[in-house]
Structure 1
Amino acid sequence: MSDPISPPPQSSAGGTPFNRSSPSPSEAWRAGSLILIALSLGLHVAALVRAEPLRSANDRSRWATVRALTERGDFRIDPYEFQPGWSTIDQVQVNGNLYSTKPAPLPIVAAAISLPVEAVTGWKLAENPAPHTRWVLLFLNLVPFAAALWAVRSLLTDVARTDLARFLALGTLGFATAVSAFLPVFNNHTIGACCCALAAVPLIRIWRGARDGWRFAAAGLFAALTVCNELPAGLFGLAAFAVCLRADWKRTFAWFAPAAAVPLLLFVAATVWQTGSVKPFYMTYGTETYEFVRNGRPSYWMNPTGLDAARDGFWMYLFHCTFGHHGLFSLTPVWLLAVWSWARSLAALFKRAAHGAAHEQHPLAAFAAATGLLSVAILAFYLTRTENYNYGGRSVALRWMIWLAPLWALSLAPLADALDRRRWFAPLAACLLALSVTSAWLDSPDPWQNPWLMRELESRGWVDYALAEPNGAAADDDGRGGQFAFLRADRGLP
């Protein structure tokens, strides 16, 4: 009996204008994939040009740090607290000085880009924030995104078995995820996603037999960079290490480990420079660094409102994280196919282990299964943090899951290859992809707002995120909120 992930028997002939079912990529893929990448980059550059700088307290906190580094060489942001357009709630107080809650490494990299931008253009961050920030973000966000798309294209060309799978995976990553929403702004999630893609590609090559030292180094470097930008990605980093160790322990210690050590050590050094310890400021949440009175005014975190008050119970939070107003699947329906692919891949691997299989498994089957397990573990981690049930604050997506987008997009390939011959699958995939693209771009170029689905639910009165908190505080101007409208705080779900 055939492996359920393997596609039906196919002809090996290539060279037709569009080979739906050939292991050899068609000319349509080779040319069309380049057009897709160019179109994706063009749209994202246009979004970057349209984006307003310093739009949110989140990225103002980061840009204020960049400004402090380029103007004075330190991390203090209190000189800007009363300057119009520079105030932020994402700050802590230490020894009377204000600092960003954001980790230091990314602002340091941005500052390293900011200085030559100012030198070449004459635009200062404080005086010309719009053009200055756009140039910085072009190099910080879009160049890594272009590299990620190119690497994924190269991998799909070799390991996907049908053009349908190739176009579906690349099109999803290029246009249909929350990565697109956040590329025009300063954040850690998009660079985390790009690094994840650039780590996954050499890892898959290594898993399939490649033993080039540079691939081990690339896997180590970018896996560590993913962890530096998304600390819960430590599980991904450990998995990457395990894959390389299983493949070749000598090359792992000779190439992977040293390459991974560089960004990790720099992260620690930057954190010590900023905080005076190895602990980033955001890990002091709930202490006096977050909760303080300054100039007679309490910090926002002494009395958080709306979503930040974390009033949703476990089941309500799980629902909204998956199928609700911040839902992974309600906002990006094509991810339903990724879950399907994980399930099929896991079933195929269990069957193969128990009974053997007559046909070779899909090159990405084990990867898809591992991605499913990793994704469940990451979501479970955030579900345990009940004090932070705020959906990532005011943003258009569940932003702390964004870094997984490249893994999910690649996971689509085994399913698309397996079901390519089913007449109903291509229209279904196209429909889900179109809905996901529309959802991803509805709020462009400003990801620092509530998701379109949440706003729609609010307009219908089905949810109300302006409800007063139990202590009487009103919701903040970010509109962070609460339960269903008919579930008042004293009658909320558990």
Structure 2
Amino acid sequence: MKPARVPRKKDAWAEADQYRWAIYWLLIAVCIGGSVGRTFAVTGNHGRHPFLSANDRSRWATVRSLVDHNTFAIDEVIEDHYWDSIDKVYHLGPDGKYHYYSSKPPLMSVVLAGEYWVIKNTIGLKIAEHPFYVGRAIIIVTNGLLLLGLLWPTILIVERYAKSDFARVGIVATICFGTFLTTYAVTINNHLLAATSVAIALYCGLRVWCDDRSEAKYLLGAGFFAACAAVNDLPAFSFFALLGLAMLIKKPVPTLLYGIPGAAVILVASIGSNYIAHQSWRPPYAHRGDGEVLGTVESKLHGPLDQRKLPPEVRDVLAQQEVELSDEAQIITRETGNRWVLLDKGIDRRYAIQRTDSAIEVRDWDNWYDYDTSYWKPGVKKGVDEGETSRAWYAFHVILGHHGILSLTPVWFLSIVGLGMWLGEKGVFRQVAAFIVLLTLVCVLFYIFRPLKDRNYGGMTSGFRWAFWLIPMWLTAMIPVLDRWKSWWWGQRVFALLLLFSAISASYSALNPWIHPWIYNYLGYLGWLSS
């Protein structure tokens, strides 16, 4: 007799229950191992240094300068043009002279400098002499820990709130292979750090909001890591503020006792390091305009100023501020008839002269991005950095176009479906969905409604990187739809197809995330782009 036929289980994923954690560890190993392998393959600057773009070189210059020269100023470092970067500012230092500094928030560079200091003072390797060994060691340790910090809370979230193995393993596979966060693991950047911080803070926040937990570790973790996300990615301040409000509503006393002090630690460290680096409480990007008015001149001086002549009236205004100009003082025209720069190399000072409707204002210098070789001056920027003139066209490309969140990583369509499912239910997950929807809209609309100069898709980048910090929340939003599709063969195949195309986009720039997306490059090949 033939043996009786065993009926096939409806949920094929049920068989993986006892092996689920083994699958997680395999995915983690492949994800981190792949990032380490790609880091070894990196050959930036035509093989001279393992640094891939102006963005990460800006931070590396600070790391080298802090350890090798004991200063945040990067003048000596960028004399080697392979270490130079367009992401720098120029302002007075504590010695009363002008210096170049990285425009990036300094806290992350300080932490990386600590790693370099250990390498230099234990092994004896200097980053200037051995950039590959030192640079790769720091990248592998830093980003390896960040990837683990990203994957682990993601696993804890799906283990706690997903109901099927299909959803659990599918979401972990997505974070390992289908997003740009692993793409950016081969370079020092703030986006992986911000997303990791959001993932940890989100898990802690969910335990408080959904599970009514009040342990110190959850409130402390939520406060500390939400603040860490905020100081490393400006739009994540919305996450920090909204999560903090939610924690205060749910658990006011524990939040005051643990959450706020946890956040204060990272906020003080960020603000303090910025002040030490720049002698200003404001970050560099807040220094893009002229400083305070030192005095006004009623005379019409735009004629002599356009001819680069220094009127005595301007000297008199500065003399009243106890500033004695040298014979080397000269006028530089920035905008004919409207704005000029007074540069005095003799005393290493500069001032802005601005024409108004009724007078000429002499202002202190506070535009740190306005220097002779600045890439960020009008008329210097090229390509995508010039900004998208049409706001509607920009919005399209941010969402569905060549830098599109959904076109490059279509797996996020499932997040939209999942959010809709949660919003249609009653209970805490409707509130979680509203939280995610609100933060997504705030971030995307914030960048869509930026002025022309900032509508550049994040510059030379493989995806719309300013939204990467939202990825842990978008992954969480996939839970209800994947739970429902656990037994639907067509749903499983749709998910696999969406993940496939997302993984293709993420792997296109696997060796250098600081390149344009494949859709942008292909449209350029077809001649459909104007720049």
- Is TM (by shorter chain) over 0.5? yes
Aligned to 2:447: 382
The aligned amino acid for 2:499 is L
C-alpha deviation, 1:185, in angstroms: 0.4
Alpha-carbon distance in 1 for matches of 2:10, 2:183: 31
**Which structure has greater strand proportion?**
2
Pairwise CA distance, 1:367: 2.4
- Give yes or no for the alignment of 1:439 onto 2:518: no
- Distance in 2 (CA, whole Å) between partners of 1:463 and 1:121 is 50
Equivalent in the alignment of 2:478: 412
C-alpha displacement of 1:373: 1.9
Q: State which structure, 1 or 2, has the greater radius of gyration over its C-alpha atoms.
A: 2
After TM superposition, the structure 1 = structure 2 runs for residues 362-401 of structure 1, keeping only pairs within 5 Å, are 364-386=429-451, 387-401=453-467
Is 1:341 the counterpart of 2:423? The answer is no
Shift of 1:299: 4.5
1:195-210 mapped onto 2 (5 Å cutoff): 195-207=197-209, 208-210=211-213
Q: For CA contacts below 8 A with separation 6 or more, give which structure has more relative contact order.
A: 1
CA distance in 2, matches of 1:36, 1:366: 31
Q: Which residue of 2 aligns with 1:292?
A: 371
Query: Structure 1 residues 286, 27: CA separation in 2 closer, same or farther (over 3 Å shift)?
Result: farther
Contact 1:375–1:404 (CA under 8 A) maintained in structure 2: yes
TM-superposed CA distance for 1:422, in Å, is 3.1
Task: Report the CA distance between 1:17 and its aligned residue.
Answer: 10
Which residue of structure 2 aligns with residue 48 of structure 1? 39
In structure 2, the residue matched to 1:274 is 277
The equivalences for 1:18-33 within 5 A come to: 26-33=17-24
The alignment's TM-score, normalised by the length of structure 2, stands at 0.78
Aligned counterpart, 1:488 = none
CA distance in 2, matches of 1:174, 1:98: 38
1:308 aligns with 2:385: yes
**Aligned residue for 1:470?**
none
| Structure 1 runs of 4+ with >4 Å offset | 16-22, 297-300
Distance 2:124 2:82 in 1: 21
1:403 aligns to what? 469
Secondary structure (helix, strand or coil) at the match of 1:420 reads: helix
Q: Return the offset for 1:82.
A: 3.1
Which amino acid counterpart does residue 172 of structure 1 have in structure 2? T
- Correspondence list, 1:470-481, <5 A: none
Name which of 408, 411, 418 aligns with 1:331.
408
**Counterpart amino acid of 1:382?**
Y
RMSD of aligned residue pairs (Cα, Å): 2.0
What amino acid does structure 2 have at the position aligned with 1:438? I
Alpha-carbon distance in 2 for matches of 1:218, 1:17: 41
Q: In the TM superposition, what whole-angstrom CA distance separates every residue of 1:33-83 from its partner, at most 9, and x where no partner exists?
A: 221111111111111221232221111111101111111221111223331
Shift of 1:137: 1.6
Deviates more, 1:136-145 or 1:266-275: 136-145
- Taking the TM superposition and a 5 Å limit, the aligned residue runs for 1:424-463 are 424-463=490-529
> Which runs of 5 or more structure 2 residues have no equivalent in the other structure?
1-7, 44-49, 93-97, 291-366
Percent identity between the two aligned chains: 30
TM-score (normalised: structure 1) = 0.84
The alpha carbon displacement at 1:300 in A equals 4.4
Asked if 2 retains the 8 angstrom alpha-carbon contact of 1:17 and 1:26, the reply is no
The Cα of 1:317 is off from its aligned counterpart by 0.4
* Map of 1:87 onto structure 2: 84
Stretches of structure 1 lacking an aligned partner (at least 5 in a row): 1-15, 353-360, 466-494
Aligned to 1:223: 226
Q: What letter corresponds to residue 221 of structure 2 in structure 1?
A: A
Classify the secondary structure of the residue corresponding to 2:163. Answer: coil
Q: Distance in 2 between matches of 1:57 and 1:412?
A: 35
Partners in 1 of 2:20 and 2:511 — Cα distance? 29
For the residues of structure 2 that align with 1:37 and 1:193, how far apart are their CA atoms? 17
Looking at structure 1, the residues matched to 473 and 32 of structure 2 have their Cα atoms a distance apart, in angstroms, of 20
Q: Tell me the distance in 1 between the aligned counterparts of 2:368 and 2:226.
A: 31
2:60 to 53, 58, 63: 63
Letter in 1 for 2:186: P
Residues 307, 213 of structure 1: alpha-carbon distance in 2 compared, 3 angstrom cutoff: same
> Separation in 1 of the partners of 2:11 and 2:40?
37
CA distance in 2, matches of 1:364, 1:46: 39
Match of 2:247 in 1: 244
| Residues 181 and 443 in structure 1, CA contact (< 8 A), matched pair in contact too | yes
Q: 1:155 aligns with which of 146, 154, 157?
A: 157
Per the TM alignment, residue 117 of structure 1 is displaced from its structure 2 partner at its CA by 1.9
CA separation in 2, counterparts of 1:407 and 1:130? 35
Amino acid at match of 2:242: A
Does the 8 Å contact 1:18/1:26 carry over to 2? no
CA distance, structure 1, for counterparts of residue 384 and residue 257 of structure 2:
47
